[in-house]
Structure 1
Amino acid sequence: MIWPPDADQPLPPDTSTRRGRPPAPIAASAGLFHRAWLEPVRAFLHASGITLDDLVNRSGFSKTRISELLRGNDYYPAWEITSSVIHALGLPLEPMRRLWLAGAREARRPEAWIERSISQVALQPEPPPVPYEAFTDTVRDAYTAYARAFLLTDQRAGAVVAETFDILWLSWNEAATSENLPRYAWQLLRARVMARAHHHHGHPDLRAAVFSTAEIHDHMPGHFVALSELTRLFDAIGRLPDDQMDIAVLRYLCAVPDAAIPGIVGLSDVITRAIDHHARAALEALLPDLTQE
């Protein structure tokens, strides 16, 4: 594919008083992996003020096709049009291609179609931003341990962390300029994990983590060793409010050092300690027979 000659140039300032209409809501048929890249792309488009007409001029594709792509409507888009729109928006192509590939397989597109679609677009090496690499290296282990507590296997946990990091790279300009990068990234990870976690009576189900979390007994308050008691405790942790649950999971199920947790979840030391205190109190109220020690 040949990019338009002005694809790397900034869009001219808009002098009109009327912007293009935002795209319609994402189609209900769009899958989880499809939405993983479609939602941040739409968010970037909305924040940038770029119109569909701008994308038509810069990508070379019709307004109808671009509109369908942005809605996730009717079909999974080929990599050629997807990469053209991403390039026109100035977003990184390397993480986008991985996200697109996962979505194509989720949509049950044939492997031959996927390979042919990818082969039509040359992709130059694209190193990630250095601050992005430094940040992801810092949080990778804790993110993976948290994801494993809910998803139970290293493969599933690694896949959701990789997906989170690709979305973070795709959204890096927004994330890096946010008021709280660690909080931005943590909420992104949390959303990806919860979208895949098994739920029990409306709450994340941690009971199976009793059998998959290594060396758990050494890190639990009171050293509860009976599996039935651990199962009750893990179930109670899953019923805590979001922040309380997250901190309890990181501290007690993942054995993340106390000093590291505030930087992982993007909260201050004082707030993190207060949340941990409330989590302990809530567990004592739910399970007084297990926490009396």
Structure 2
Amino acid sequence: MTENEERTGWMAPAPGVRESQRIPVAFWGFHDRFKRAYRKYAELHLGDERLAGRVVHTVFLNLLRGWPRLMEEASPAASAWAHLKEAVDDVLIAQGRDSAMAETAVFHRVARAVLEDARDEFAAMESSVGLYPAIARLPGRQFDVMVLHYVLGCTTAKTAAIMGITEATVRSHRLHARNRIGRELGLAPEPEHPED
């Protein structure tokens, strides 16, 4: 990066790209920070790694096109997260199907259990069959917190950053979601433990 690029916050276009197509350095930071989580979230819902990659790529292109406007938002991360969720929902609606989250999450849990050799894969699948559909029935933000934190393994801080909310809000949504799931599955509510 040149001194001028550092000062202006914009990177020069790649060779063969017109001068008007400069990409803000801040965009690349945002992209690097959230791309992996966005892709894992999309793949969880779409059940297709390649399709998830295309959807996330399109989302980031749209974010880049509206970058100045996005940076004026009160919470750019929350706006970008909403855009990702809308894009995933649009694909599911266009394909006339529901989210593959329950099946995909069960697969990931079983694979993790087998790889870690921590528990029998059938026991892992059996316990997941009731849990993941219960997660899928949660209200929007509680659902996102549970998927990001428990299914995709994001920390409280990372979940807050991705969703554009505070860590306290993440903990609150997590506690309410766990209590709701516990009631639905007939389990005693547990107090919130600081996991990270």
What is the TM-score with the length of structure 1 in the denominator?
A: 0.51
Match of 1:260 among 158, 171, 174: 158
Amino acid of the structure 1 residue aligned with 2:76: L
Does residue 178 of structure 2 align to residue 283 of structure 1? no
- 2:106/2:129 contact within 8 Å kept: no
The percent identity for this pair of structures is 25
Change in CA separation of 1:231 and 1:290 when aligned onto 2, cut-off 3 Å: farther
In the alignment, structure 1 residue 178 sits paired with structure 2 residue 73? yes
Q: What do residues 32-62 of structure 1 show as CA deviations (whole Å, max 9, x unaligned)?
A: xxxxxxxxxxxxxxxxxxxxxxxxxxxxxxx
Contact 1:251 1:258 in 2 (8 A): yes
CA distance in 2, matches of 1:225, 1:155: 30
Residue pair 1:224, 1:230 contacting (<8 A) in 2 also? no
**Structure 1 residue 160: Cα displacement:** 1.0
Taking the aligned partners of 2:43 and 2:154, their CA distance within structure 1 comes to 13
2:126 is equivalent to residue 228 of structure 1: yes
Counterpart contact for 2:160–2:167, Cα < 8 Å: yes
Change over 3 Å in CA distance of 1:232–1:173 after alignment to 2: same
> Which of residues 245, 259, 267 in structure 1 aligns to 2:143?
245
Which residue among 28, 33, 37 is the counterpart of 1:133? 28
**2:38 aligns with one of 122, 140, 143:** 143
Counterpart of 1:194 (choices 89, 103, 125) is 89
Q: Which has the larger radius of gyration?
A: 1
Matches within 5 A, 1:45-124: 124=18
Higher RCO, Cα 8 Å, sep 6+: 2
Gapped runs of 5+ residues in structure 2? 1-12, 191-196
**TM-score between both structures, scaled by the size of structure 2:** 0.74
Q: How many residues align?
A: 165
- Do the aligned partners of 2:77 and 2:161 also contact (CA within 8 Å) in 1? yes
Equivalent position amino acid for 1:286 in 2? E
Cα distance in 1, alignment partners of residues 48 and 189 from structure 2? 29
Change (3 A) 1:285 1:152: same
Q: Which residue of 2 aligns with 1:82?
A: none
Of the three residues 173, 188, 206, the one matched with 2:101 is 206
Counterparts in 2 of 1:151 and 1:208: CA distance versus 1, 3 Å: same
- Is the contact between residue 146 and residue 250 of structure 1 (CA under 8 Å) also seen in structure 2? yes
Segments of structure 1 that go 5 or more residues without pairing to the other structure are 1-93, 95-121
Tell me: CA distance 1:205–1:157, structure 2 relative to 1, closer, same or farther (3 Å): closer
Distance 1:169 1:275 in 2: 30
Match of residue 58 from structure 2: 163
Alpha-carbon distance in 2 for matches of 1:203, 1:281: 25
Compared CA separation, residues 211 and 274, structure 1 to 2 (3 A):
closer
Report the secondary structure of 2:128's partner residue.
helix
Q: Structure 1 252/155 Cα, relative in aligned 2: closer, same or farther at 3 Å?
A: same
User: What letter is aligned with 2:25?
Assistant: V
Q: CA deviation at 1:207?
A: 1.9
CA–CA distance in structure 1, aligned partners of residues 71 and 137 of structure 2: 32
- The corresponding residue for 1:44 is none
